[in-house]
Amino acid sequence: MRAESAKAYGKRSLAAILILVLLMSLAGCAFVDKIQNRIDPNASKISAPELVRLLVVAINDQNMIGSSYEAIPEVQREGISFSYFSQYVSILKSLGGNAKIDRFTFLDEEENSDRLDKIYKRMCQQMPAGDFKSTFEPYGSVKTVELQYSKKNVSNSRMYISFDSEGTAYLSYDWIMDLIDTYNYMNHYFNMLEKNNSDGIAVLIKSKSGFSTIYSEDVIDSKAQYTVDFYRMKVKNSFDQFVLKEINAFYVDYEIPEVLSADGQSLYSRNLYAFRGNNGDIDIIDDIPQEVDNNVITVPLSQNQMIRCGLEYDSSVLQRMMGKPVKVIVQDENIYDTDDPEKVRSRVCFMYKGIHLVFDASYTDENDWMGELVSITLVTNSRVSYSVCDLKLGDPEESILKRFPMIKYGDYTLNYSINASSFDLVYEVTDGVITGITITEEGY
C-alpha cells in the first residue's frame, strides 16, 4: 500500500511539475529555449504565448525551425511557406546579434498603442500613408512582443504578432512578406555597396520617389559614386557587422557602429533606414554627410594666390594681394571684445571688383589696420569673376549638385569647422542659376 501510495504521490507530483512548467512557458516565458514540452499536433489553435514560444524556440535553435513550423496550426500561419517562415526566423535572430532570447513579454494595451503610434508617425515622415486604421488594417490587430536576451550587453528588441477579430493570434502573411521584402531590399543595397557597384546604386537612387524628376542622370551618377566612395573609405565595419536595431512591416533600422569622421581623427556611429509605403514602394534613407575641406572657405585670386576666411590679414598684405579697393565702408565701430575689454575693434568692408571682404579689425584707416577675415561675398562684375569650389555666379544650379552630391536640394549651405571656428558657405539660386555666393564665419 505504501508503495502504491508513493507511486500515486509521484504521479501527482510529476503532473504538478508538468503543469508548472507549462504555466511558466505561457506566463513567465523565461528560459524558453530550455522548455521541451510539445503542443498537441492535432490542436486546431494555440494561444498567443504558445505561438511566440514556438517562434522563440526556432530563433534560439535553427534545428528547431522545422518542428516549430509544424507545431503551428496551419490556420495560424495561412499562406506562409516553410521557406518564408525560415527567412522570418533568421531575420528575427539577427535582431539580437544572434544572442539567445531569455524571456518575452507582451506589452500592455497602453504601451502597445504608443509603440504602434510611433511606428506610424515615423513611417509617415518618410512615405505616403493613409490614416492609422487603414495602414495597419491588412495586418489584423497588431500586438508588440518585447524580447529580452541572455547577454547583458544586448538591448531588448521587438517582434509583432497579429490577432483576428475573434482574438486568435496568428502570423500575418502580409506582415511577414512586407517585412521580408523591405529587409531584402536593404540587403540588396548593401550588396551593391560591397561590390562598389555605383551603377547599381544609381538605379536604386533613381527609383526613389521624385528623384528622377529632381535630379539629372549626371547628378544621380555623382550621388551613387559618392555613396560607394563613402562606404569604401569611411565605414570601418564589414557589412555583416552592421546592427539591425528594429524591423517591422514598415521600415528597417540599421546602425553602422564605426564611421570615420571627416577629419579622420575619430569614429562615430550612424543609422540608415529602409521605409516601405502603403503602395509597396521602398525608399532607403541613407543621409550620408557631404564632407568638405578648407576649399569651401577659400577663394582663388590667381594661379598662385588665394584668400581664406578665418585668417588674419593686415593692410599691407591685402594691398599686395588685391591692390587698392574700390571702396571701404566701416560697418560697425567700437566693438568691444568680451574676453579683452580693452581691445576695441571695427567691422570693415573692403570692396573690390567681383568680391567684397569683411574684416573684424583693429582699424585706423585703410592703410593701417590688422584683423580677421570673417566674411567673403562674390558680386557680379563684367571683367572679374571669382569662384568658390570651382563654382561662380551665373553657373547653373545643377553644377552645385554635381560638385556636392549629398547637399540638400534647394538648401545649398555647407558648413566647415576648424580650430573651434565654424564657417558657412551659401550658394543662392534664382531661376536655376547661382546668383549669390557668400562665406561667413559663424558669430559674425
* Structural domains in the chain plus CATH codes: 13-171 (no CATH), 178-285 (3.10.450), 294-441 (2.60.460)
Mean pLDDT of 408-413: 95
Chain segment 91-102, per-residue pLDDT in tens: 999 998 889 999
- The pLDDT assigned to 161 comes to 98
- The pLDDT assigned to 28 comes to 41
- The pLDDT assigned to 120 comes to 96
More confident residue, 435 or 304: 435
CA distance 345 to 328: 16
Question: Between the ranges 11-15, 105-109, 151-155, where is the mean pLDDT highest?
Answer: 105-109
List the grid coordinates of 141: 490587430
- The pLDDT assigned to 5 comes to 41
96: CB partners within 8 A, 6+ apart: 147, 149, 151, 154, 157
Question: What is the CB neighbour count within 10 angstroms for residue 175?
Answer: 23
CA distance 116 to 248: 10
Indicate whether 435 pLDDT > 70.
yes
Chain segment 54-85, per-residue pLDDT in tens: 999 999 999 999 999 999 999 999 999 999 99
CA distance 184 to 171: 19
Percent of the chain with pLDDT over 90: 76
Indicate whether 23 pLDDT > 80.
no
Indicate whether 267 pLDDT > 90.
yes
- The pLDDT assigned to 345 comes to 82
Indicate the pLDDT class of residue 343, thresholds 50, 70 and 90.
low
35: CB partners within 8 A, 6+ apart: 21, 24, 25, 53, 57
Mean pLDDT of 385-409: 96
Sign of the C-alpha dihedral computed for residues 60, 66, 67 and 73 taken in this order: positive
CA distance 127 to 109: 26
Burial 325-346 (b: 16+ CB within 10 A, else e): beeeeeeeeeeeeeeeeeeebb
Indicate whether 104 pLDDT > 60.
yes
Indicate the pLDDT class of residue 342, thresholds 50, 70 and 90.
low
- The pLDDT assigned to 58 comes to 97
Mean pLDDT of 187-197: 97
Residue 52 gets which letter from DSSP?
A: H
More confident residue, 314 or 39: 314
